[in-house]
């Protein structure tokens, strides 16, 4: 067994430990706010080791994004493919659900990080910084095209331009679900809870589908 294979006791390499700590730190404090020192301490490794494995802070961030994105988007692609592999064509509602469920379940499933990666996505998706957009282009534009195509297949009245806008708007709505700001509770006197992803999905899906169909009719 090589020295960096499964670590004794918890089956995680030091590289993974660093990526996990980085994910939490970037989610909590942002890219600029997260310190390499703090990430090293949280990962239980020396700061120098991070630079040995990932060279720079920026490359560490990219590796962290790539790891989780590839995992999420493989699942999203599989869900869409499965929907179209059935006998009759899927409903719009199923496409929209496939858009979000893998992301929220990656956050909940791993549980340990309290949706850290989802929070990174939120501060990321709407960034105009060319560095962020480059990462989005590489890791998210291909799956976006898959969903845009899917929207046009299930709603034949939708033009390509409208499908692109619809996708962007849908992502914008989804961000409000992943941000977990606590604002819905504040605005509603406690009635609305943005910590309940399942409850939010049940409102987000009809909202987006209503929006998409309004574009079709317009």
Partner DNA sequence: GTCTATAGTTCGATAGAC
Partner DNA sequence: GTCTATCGAACTATAGAC
Residues that bind a second copy (CB under 8 A): 29-33, 119, 122-123, 126-128, 133, 136-137, 141, 144-145, 148, 160-162, 164-169, 171-176, 179-184, 186-188, 191-192, 194, 200, 203-204, 206-215, 217-218
CA 197 from centre of chain: 13
**C-alpha to C-alpha distances, 138 to 10, 59, 131, 141, 144, nearest whole angstrom:** 32, 14, 11, 6, 11
Q: What is the DSSP letter of 169?
A: H
**C-alpha to C-alpha distances, 60 to 6, 12, 53, 174, 195, nearest whole angstrom:** 21, 17, 9, 26, 29
Residue 86 contacts DNA per CB under 7 A:
no
Distance CA 56, CA 79 (A): 35
218 binds, among DNA, a second copy, none (CB under 5 to 8 A by kind): a second copy
Q: Which stretch binds DNA (CB under 7 A): 47-55, 93-101, 121-129, 198-206?
A: 47-55
Nearer to DNA, 30 or 195 (CB): 30
Residue 38 contacts DNA per CB under 7 A:
yes
Residue 4 contacts DNA per CB under 7 A:
yes
Q: What is the DSSP letter of 89?
A: P
Interface pattern 16-35 for DNA (x via CB under 7 A): ------------------xx
Nearer to a second copy, 45 or 155 (CB): 155
Nearer to a second copy, 14 or 153 (CB): 153
**CB–CB of 69/140 below 8 Å?**
yes
Tokens (6 digits) for 70: 């590839």
Residue 63 contacts DNA per CB under 7 A:
no
């Amino acid at each position: 067994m090589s020295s960096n294979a499964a670590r004794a006791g918890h089956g995680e390499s030091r590289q993974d430990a660093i990526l996990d700590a980085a994910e939490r730190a970037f989610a909590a404090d942002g890219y600029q706010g997260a310190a390499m020192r703090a990430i090293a301490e949280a990962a239980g490794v020396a700061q120098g080791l991070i630079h040995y494995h990932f060279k720079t802070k920026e490359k560490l961030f990219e590796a962290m994004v790539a790891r989780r994105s590839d995992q999420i988007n493989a699942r999203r692609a599989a869900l869409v493919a499965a929907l179209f592999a059935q006998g009759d064509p899927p409903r719009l509602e199923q496409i929209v659900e496939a858009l979000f469920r893998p992301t929220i379940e990656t956050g909940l499933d791993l549980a340990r990080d309290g949706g850290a990666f989802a929070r990174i996505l939120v501060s990321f998706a709407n960034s105009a910084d060319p560095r962020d957009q480059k990462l989005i282009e590489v890791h998210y534009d291909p799956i976006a095209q898959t969903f845009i195509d899917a929207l046009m297949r299930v709603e034949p009245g939708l033009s390509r331009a409208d499908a692109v806008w619809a996708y962007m708007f849908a992502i914008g709505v989804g961000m409000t679900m992943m941000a977990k700001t606590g604002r819905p509770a504040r605005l509603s006197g406690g009635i609305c809870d943005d910590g309940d992803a399942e409850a939010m999905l049940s409102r987000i899906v009809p909202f987006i589908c209503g929006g998409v169909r309004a574009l079709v009719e317009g």
